[in-house]
Amino acid sequence: MLRLSKLTDYAIVVMTDMADEPETVFSAAELAGRTHLEQPTVAKVLKALTKSGLIRSYRGANGGYRLGPQPRNISVAQIISAMEGPIGMTECSVHEGLCAQEAVCTTRSNWRRISQAVEMALNDVTLQDMTQPMVPPIDIRRMRVVRG
């Protein structure tokens, strides 16, 4: 089963909450209360997202965090990449040289194809989409994988 880490899931929850008020500066404690997550977990998420540039941090008495780009300009793929690194179904579909079987593997190119399709689908869903109760399903027939 393909699964995102809990921290990545929480990052999407926190950013979706922030997307409802994209110009507002929130404290970590405020976001923890709004999302019903533990404050240390929210702080860890915010640190990673700030490092990636998806969230801006502000110091001082009125400091806190707010979205960097607008919600319509942030994809779910960007959030996942910020939290977990490059998107790939297998390690070899992202990085070369990690598997002793690489030289004779017959499935690596297909895993790369599959990983590209998953990444394309995640790029098609924005943070703004995530704030909506229900978005139209993605038509996977229109997706094209670039081969090369």
Each domain of the chain, given as residue ranges in start order, spans 6-133
Position 20 pLDDT exceeds 90: yes
Query: How confident is the model over 37-72, as pLDDT tens digits?
Result: 999 999 999 999 999 999 999 998 889 999 999 999
Residue 44: its pLDDT value, please? 97
CATH no., domain 6-133: 1.10.10.10
pLDDT band for 147, please (50, 70, 90 cuts): low
pTM of this structure: 0.83
Distance CA 147, CA 23 (A): 40
| Degrees to nearest 5, angle at CA 88 with 77 and 100 | 160
